[in-house]
A and B are shown apart, each in its own frame.
Chain A
């Protein structure tokens, strides 16, 4: 705990820093990332967690220290640091709320302050993987409980009574025997002198006494600012003397600038300078693509100046990337044996002996994130110091990469995290901040680099493109006895290292090798696929194609056997059980299987819950149909029922969506509902329209006219969300991403029910009109 009025003096925590060998951002082991010794804060010992998560294995681990996260001012204002990035999930509210809950702070007297990027101080800050609540519920409770204990100890000393006789209640510490009370503000100075209690001895609140957690009564902290235009996003940062820049980048990934003529651009009113930006050869993780920057007094002038540039590019080796041809390659690869990544029983033999084989080949194109706020960053580089303001999901990673790119020590880089106008994985890659840093260094002035929507669509780190081919073998009774799933898709690993042509374990573990059906003979294969553009994380990642294929296939099997979709699904899931990991070191979203097993009882439960609440089997009007799908991802379980209506011209509407989620112990059900409502809309958006395609190495789309996203007049009329009450000690699991994967297959199963048309290729586009 520290004072707002004298924070420097109370940063005693540095004393506890010890040198530890910590793995760097080694999400992709050995791929373009160097290991090394770094300074790390003490990482929590595992035993201290009431339940175990993979938090400690993240780069820089977890810091549980109230002196880092909590400050109490003499007037009683409690400031709690939010060290994760806010991109719309509500994390900037949820995590501080946990601290406030445990320390008995009155939420109306709490201020939330955004932490800058410093993982040594704050622990891991990568806001992705639907990890924040699952990794930080317990640490934040411990931080709050530590702060509360220190305040209680300070009060007990002041009154000369045993600490066991006092209790913090709603922003005060009370001694009920003598009816004495002291406000948190009055105790702040003394409490700061108390030693931080050991985690093992902390007394956490009984969940039945929670005022905020699990209640959903608290609005997000930025609500008022957002509705009044005061909320500050990356683009809203303004510094004295700041220049505005836009950059013309090579139209083909890996392309290079041959020549440029700046004359016409320089004649545009407001344009001040045209300069080259350094680019890195592809693949280079998140390093800039390079190009030509136009510097101006405002963004409008910079854009106009860029339009006037004359540019010649060398497209390089990816200049032949063509989505039509590439799709054929993927389809052909999916029809031949590939690298076996999971094998149980003998799928080949069982398929040969099957009474009936159902084959589904599913195609899902590249997707762009198109967060409403295009990438943007402000940098101010002076000598060997750099300060960045940017909407980044990975403040710590940004700090590392800025330091490396500028060749300065990491300690000289400050990364200020603004609000993110959407992220969806795009802003886990800090290329835009690196561009701003390079330009500011060269200009000797603060600079804002603004990406236009066209830049965003054309130079994204795209969701992969994939063919998922499933062959299901049925015996005479209609029971599935064999399952072969081939997944062919360029890997995210290709953005880190050339020649990474197989999917990485974390991609295989998203719905392929962890597929939970109770089938005797299973084979999963991963034929090779080369990448020709930058592939990156997109909300839900490989779960999107996997859930689409697997859950569409369930619908196909139901149809082929004349059975109900839901009954077919439950039969395939099989008995309630803990599924044994089918492969060695199977990816489980970084979590241990002990505390986060694949539990088919929970999978069945969300199916049954959504079926009950969503009135599965209800009579629907002519032209309407119901579809269901379930998927486990980010260690949560989620099932969706979609009702569609298709008119005689093939026009699709979605009257109703029902979703049940089991995300374990939860913090803010109101935000869970908003995430799931949004996931239905994003799910419908990508199923209906989502497609980025390439011709001659260039992205064919440019803006919301040709990369359409769903609008209000076509969004589901109503989305109902049901949250499974957590069992005792059920650890928290992901919410931000899991809603997306089951939507598209539920939609297509519903379309099939309504029309008899099986849609295997995304996006839907005009397929119903044919």
Chain B
């Protein structure tokens, strides 16, 4: 039996230990805010925070996070008012919105690590998260805004 804490709640799994965390979250735990985009850690749509680090849940097995603390977009802030989320709304970042949960989690992890990133550091840190609609200019501005206070 694998035990993992997700958004503060203990969850357990006794199925395939190799099951990617992504599918556990989405299909077993019903936390559909985390998205499937590529399955190969190429696009970042599935980004969650494990302890304090952004990870791609599509290539992270449920066994890899046993005993650890997973935060998904649903658990980032109880009211959805994390600085990054607020900045996202202020800048009207999303178009289709599908990649945005992954983008927001990546940005939140970046700011934990580097609370005042430069524009270049933002562009580099966010380069693993693809947005096909092309919201990059706004994402960059929103992360910067979140780092300077919304």
Residues of A within 8 A of B (CB): 86-90, 219-220, 222-224, 226-233, 235-236, 238, 244, 268-270, 297-301, 303-304, 370-374, 419-424, 450, 452-454, 670, 674-675, 677-682, 685, 703-705, 709-716, 718-719
Complex alpha-carbon distance, A374 and B35, angstroms: 10
Contact between A678 and B134, CB atoms less than 8 A apart: yes
Contact between A374 and B36, CB atoms less than 8 A apart: yes
CB neighbours (8 Å) of A704 from chain B are 38, 40, 42-43, 130
Contact between A227 and B89, CB atoms less than 8 A apart: yes
For the A-B complex with A299-B27, A715-B136 known, give 11 more contacts whose Cβ atoms are closer than 8 Å.
A88-B95, A236-B32, A297-B27, A300-B19, A372-B37, A372-B98, A372-B133, A677-B138, A678-B133, A715-B123, A716-B137
Q: List 13 A-B contacts (CB under 8 A).
A: A86-B96, A89-B95, A227-B88, A227-B100, A229-B31, A229-B73, A372-B37, A372-B43, A422-B133, A703-B39, A712-B123, A713-B126, A715-B134
Listed from nearest, the 5 A-B pairs whose CB atoms lie closest are: A229-B33, A421-B98, A681-B134, A300-B23, A88-B96
Most chain A Cβ neighbours within 10 Å, of B16, B85, B129, B134: B134
Contact between A679 and B15, CB atoms less than 8 A apart: no
Contact between A712 and B85, CB atoms less than 8 A apart: no
Contact between B92 and A301, CB atoms less than 8 A apart: no
Chain B positions 117 through 150: 1 when the CB is less than 8 Å from some CB of chain A, otherwise 0: 0000011101111111111111110000000000
Complex alpha-carbon distance, A681 and B123, angstroms: 14
Complex alpha-carbon distance, A59 and B12, angstroms: 51
Tally of contact residues, B, Cβ under 8 A:
61
Most chain A Cβ neighbours within 10 Å, of B18, B35, B131, B139: B131
Contact of A298 among B27, B31, B43, B97 (CB under 8 A): B27
Q: Please classify the interface of chain B as helix (H, G, I), strand (E, B), loop, or mixed, using the class held by over half of its residues.
A: loop
Contact between B42 and A705, CB atoms less than 8 A apart: yes
Nearest chain B CB to A232 CB, angstrom units: 8
Contact between B136 and A372, CB atoms less than 8 A apart: no
Contact between A227 and B42, CB atoms less than 8 A apart: no
Complex alpha-carbon distance, A705 and B38, angstroms: 10
CB neighbours (8 Å) of A682 from chain B are 132-134
**In the assembled complex, B104 has its CB within 8 A of some CB on chain A:** yes
Which B-chain residue is minimally distant from A676 (CB atoms)? B134
Contact between B23 and A373, CB atoms less than 8 A apart: no
CB neighbours (8 Å) of B22 from chain A are 300
CB neighbours (8 Å) of B31 from chain A are 229
Contact between A712 and B94, CB atoms less than 8 A apart: no
CB neighbours (8 Å) of A297 from chain B are 15, 27
Which B-chain residue is minimally distant from A706 (CB atoms)? B42
Complex alpha-carbon distance, A728 and B130, angstroms: 40
Contact of A88 among B33, B38, B97 (CB under 8 A): B97
Contact between B130 and A87, CB atoms less than 8 A apart: no
Nearest chain A CB to B144 CB, angstrom units: 12
Which A-chain residue is minimally distant from B103 (CB atoms)? A712
Contact between A670 and B129, CB atoms less than 8 A apart: no
Chain B positions 32 through 55: 1 when the CB is less than 8 Å from some CB of chain A, otherwise 0: 111111111011010000000000
Which B-chain residue is minimally distant from A685 (CB atoms)? B134
CB neighbours (8 Å) of B134 from chain A are 677-682, 685, 710, 715
Which A-chain residue is minimally distant from B142 (CB atoms)? A227
